[in-house]
Amino acid sequence: MNRMWIACVVMGICYAANLSSASAQTVAHTISVAAIKASADKSNAAKSLPMGTTRVAVFNVGVVFNRYERAAAIKEEMAQGLKQLQQEAKELAQDLNAWQAALQKNDLPAGKKEKYEEKIIYGRRRLEDLSRQARTKVGKTHETSLIVLWKDIREAVKTYSTEHGIELVIAYGDPKDAEMVDLFPNISRKMQTVDQGGSMPFFMAPGVDISEALLDLLNRQYREKKAEPAEGDGPR
């Protein structure tokens, strides 16, 4: 009886030991699988979000500046401002030609000849003054307008890029006419830029150049701003 009881106890202990070993192996296997899965998920996450990937766009500065309606309006305003100086210079040049022609005939009285010579001296000085005034006026207007237009374009680039998820925008310069892009003067200019440490887009896939989209945005904003009533024009 005691032997049978002892045998049962021994068998129970062996069964419990085997069961415990099997459970431990199961737990270890489960932990191993979970670790492998976690590692795989981490690896896949790293592959799905590669570092250094950036959405890039470019635009042609010359095209945007030349076709921006506000730039054209500033240019026209500048031309109107110079018109009076140009008209005076034109009339003065005609008078100078007439006075010089009269002097070359050598048939003027002495007193009149001296007056013509004085007029020519004064006229040339006045032409120099008009030329200086025009350069100063153009220089100041050009400086002011360039700052205004540059800020407009920068804001348009920022707005468009934010709306379309673009992270980097590069400006470049190329002729407006497509047939001039691959001509020697343009190629030589680009080579000089690269030699001096500059850079430029060498290949662009379709959709990378956003020049036309920026022009649409800039001109639309400019028209909307022009259509706004000026201060003091509202109903009283």
- What is the phi-psi region of residue 207: left when phi exceeds 0, alpha when psi lies from -120 to 50, beta otherwise? left
Which pLDDT score is estimated for 234? 54
**pLDDT digits 0-9 by tens, 21-44:** 444 444 344 444 444 454 545 444
Query: With DSSP H G I counted as helix, E B as strand and the rest as coil, what are the percentages for the chain, rounded to 5?
Result: 75, 5, 20
**pLDDT digits 0-9 by tens, 69-93:** 999 999 999 888 888 888 889 998 9
Residue 51 — very low, low, confident or very high, per pLDDT cuts 50/70/90?
low
Which pLDDT score is estimated for 233? 58
**Average pLDDT rounded to a whole number, residues 108-112:** 77
Query: CB-based contacts of 107: which residues, under 8 Å, 6+ apart?
Result: none
Average pLDDT, the chain: 80
pTM, 2 dp: 0.64
**Average pLDDT rounded to a whole number, residues 209-214:** 96
Residue 203's nearest CA partner among 165, 236, 166, 172 is 172
Residue 52 — very low, low, confident or very high, per pLDDT cuts 50/70/90?
low
Which pLDDT score is estimated for 212? 96
